[in-house]
Amino acid sequence: MARTLLIDEQYIKDNSAIDENVDVKLLLDAIWTSQREHIKPLLGTDLFDDIIAKADAATLAGNDLILVDTYIAPTLLKWVIFEMTLVLSYKYRNKGVMQQNSDNSTSTGSADLRTLLDHWRHKAEMFANDTVQYLRANTDLFPLYLTNSDFDDIQPKASGYTSGLFLGRANGANINPDKDCCA
């Protein structure tokens, strides 16, 4: 079964810091994964499936084309870069997972990778939130955005942002507002 992608590898290379020599196979998988993991929950099942079907049939036009070109493609681009950060840093080989290395460069440390991942997640969430706000403001143009009623449908997210869950300080101590705040 062919995978319908809303952007291609050339779009990524033309619009990001991803180098020209990055393996197309890796990019195509990152696009497909990002569409499923990050774009489908923004649009909901019905609108996502409709957009994919129209893209597959090369019939995207009007409001759907504006949605894809102006909102989905830039959001998807940022999520692909986020996904590619670790993919490009490590390779799966016969002898295990190897960190990429070459004679002319230095491997990035885990703290720097975390910083990069946080950076790209923030960018992707910002673009994702723009997409959600556009859809919420234009539900009349995209009626499938709110029609997800089947049992297995993914409901569209109310925001493009995700947040972590704070479980207290690393040492297990809780903050006492009387002692720890505003001292």
Q: Please give the residue range of the domain that contains residue 161.
A: 9-180
Q: Fill in the amino acid letter for 68.
A: V
Instruction: Evaluate whether residue 171 is within a structural domain.
Output: yes
Q: Is the pTM of this model over 0.75?
A: yes
108-149 pLDDT tens trace: 677 888 898 999 999 999 999 999 999 999 999 999 999 987
Say if residues 77 and 131 touch (Cβ distance below 8 Å): no
Instruction: Dig out the tokens for 46 from the structure.
Output: 């019905």
Residue 105 inside a domain? The answer is: yes
Domain annotation covers residue 22? yes
Q: Which residue has the higher pLDDT, 88 or 24?
A: 24
Would 99 be classed as within a structural domain?
Answer: yes
- Please provide the average confidence, as pLDDT, over all residues in the chain: 85
Whether residue 126 lies inside any domain: the answer is yes
The Cα–Cα gap between 112 and 78 comes to 18
In three-state secondary structure terms, 15 is helix
Could you report the per-residue pLDDT of 171-183, keeping only the tens digit for each?
Answer: 555 545 444 444 4
Could you tell me if 18 and 116 are in contact, meaning their C-beta atoms sit under 8 angstroms apart? no
Of 52-56, 132-136, 162-166, the range with the lowest mean pLDDT is: 162-166
Residue 51 has pLDDT above 80, yes or no: yes
Count other Cβ atoms within 10 Å, centred on residue 121: 18
Q: How confident is the model at residue 167 (pLDDT cuts 50, 70, 90)?
A: low
Answer yes or no: is 33 within a domain: yes
Quickly count: other Cβ atoms within 10 Å of residue 159's Cβ.
13
Number of domains in the chain: 1
Provide the token pair at 27: 């990019």
Residue 161 or residue 18, greater confidence: 18
Pairing of strands 96-99, 90-93: antiparallel
Question: Which helix or strand (DSSP H or E) is residue 76 part of?
Answer: helix 73-89
Residues near 96 by Cβ (< 8 Å), separated by ≥ 6?
none
59-110 per-position pLDDT tens digit: 999 999 999 999 999 999 999 999 998 888 777 777 777 676 665 556 667 7
What phi, psi does 141 have (nearest 5°)?
Answer: -85, -20
| Euclidean distance between CA atoms 20 and 13, whole angstroms | 6
In a domain, 3, yes or no: no
In a domain, 1, yes or no: no
